[in-house]
Amino acid sequence: MPAESAVEPSPEILAAFRAAKGFMPVGEGLALYRAAVEAAALGLPVLEVGTYCGRSTILLADAARAAGVTALTVDHHRGSEEQQPGWEYHDPAVVDPEVGRMDTLPTFRRTLHAAGLEDHVVALVGRSPQVAAVWGGKLGFVFIDGGHTDEHANGDYEGWAPHVAEGGLLVIHDVFPDPAHGGQAPYRVYLRALESGAFTEVSVTDSLRVLRRTGAGTAI
């Protein structure tokens, strides 16, 4: 991957990332940005699964803007399982009072507007497997950061990993080999990607894993 000093977001983009509602630490965000910059150079769209309020989308959109490609982000915007009422990551500020359910889409749109990136992102509102089933093109980059159950993590992997072009990058968040540090579904998907023979590991930054599509093997 390019030298880290050569690929840093601007102070304005980094400030927008820090200000946005979300959970990704800065160190992992910078690693995500570097991977997106490299992959966007392939001239193909970059895609993330799991938009939430757009914190990581800022970085992907900025990388896409610089390369002249589009950033795609997939989410139903009703929150993942750990964001529902009574769970650790629930935020009542993003509950729609009219329907009584989470709706992160308005906050996401405000996040992009504040960062000046609305014109560089296509928001795909729907459940990841349904969107993946109708997606027909290749992608230079796929970032899996959606639901953390085995059902959802495997659905995201099976739906989107086959679309990663040769030489493109698959990035998986919240990979914790030690169960004491976090849920295991993303870790199992990470192992599945390596065992497929289609991906090789490029870098590790805390819980963020960057893998490259080699062309060998099948993604699922």
Catalytic annotation, residues: 148
What is the C-alpha separation between 127 and 84, in angstroms, rounded? 16
- Token pair 């750990």 is at which residue? 82
Whole-angstrom distance, CA of residue 144 vs CA of residue 71: 14
Dihedrals φ, ψ of 178, to 5°?
Answer: -95, 115
**What phi-psi label fits residue 9: left (phi over 0), alpha (psi between -120 and 50 degrees) or beta?**
beta
B/e letters for 39-76, b = 16+ CB within 10 Å, e = fewer, are bbebebbbbbbbbbbbbbbbbbbbbbbbbebbbbbbbb
